[in-house]
Amino acid sequence: MRAKNRKRMPRKTIRKNAAWRKVAGVIGAAMFTMAIVAFLLLQPWKQPEEIPESATESLSQGAMLAPGAMLDQTITYLPCGHVVQRRVEAPAEFADLDRKGIENALPEYRVTAFSGKEVTMQRDLNIFCPDHWVLMPDAQGELCIWQNQMGEVMVRVRNLGIVVDDLPESAQNEVRIGKGFSSAEELEGWLEGVDG
């Protein structure tokens, strides 16, 4: 009989209580998340210690270059100030070389970073970059047009048949060390002005 005397709650009240339970659950979850975040933020954090350069060198010293590794080369052309970056695959004979082995194989480059998959290196060249035409005498003192066609070597493009000593003194000083031009036309215009 007790079951009969029990009052049932109206459906509206039941729905209202369920909605409050959901809201209370969301608020509780949010408060729990905020408590975890606050706990983590209040923890004393240590700054990461810098690894001394000697330690990174010793780590890279033990690494060996893998077949198919890449060489990231940066070449600075000192007369014009241009910088060329190129990424090339390491020759097959470089496989299994360590950092010292690469430095010995390419002494003209400074190795700045080394891993088994990649070597970063730099080189300064005292020649103009491939973007320039260069007016400069050859070993016999004849004026020639030169161009850097391979990236690392100046190649004679044309002999002009003019002896450097026949130019005005100020022009002689300029061309003896090499005078760079951005185009063949600019170079020819300068020559015409000197001959003028």
Residues 105-163 have pLDDT tens digits of 999 999 999 999 999 999 999 999 999 999 999 999 999 999 998 888 899 999 999 99
Q: Is residue 13 part of a domain?
A: no
Task: Report yes or no on whether pTM surpasses 0.75.
Answer: no
Interatomic CA distance for residues 114 and 107, integer angstroms? 15
Question: Tokens for 80?
Answer: 């014009």
Question: Is the separation of the CB atoms in 170 and 193 below 8 Å?
Answer: no
pLDDT score recorded for residue 63: 83
- Residue with structure tokens 């729905």? 15
Q: Is residue 20 part of a domain?
A: no
pLDDT in tens, 51-84: 455 444 444 456 899 999 999 999 999 999 999 9
Among residues 125, 150, 184, the one where a domain terminates is 125
Q: Is residue 71 part of a domain?
A: yes
pLDDT score recorded for residue 41: 65
By the 10 Å C-beta count (0-12 exposed, 13-18 middle, 19+ buried), 66 is classed as middle
> What's the total number of domains in the chain?
2
* Residue 47 pLDDT greater than 60, yes or no: no
Q: Is residue 105 part of a domain?
A: yes
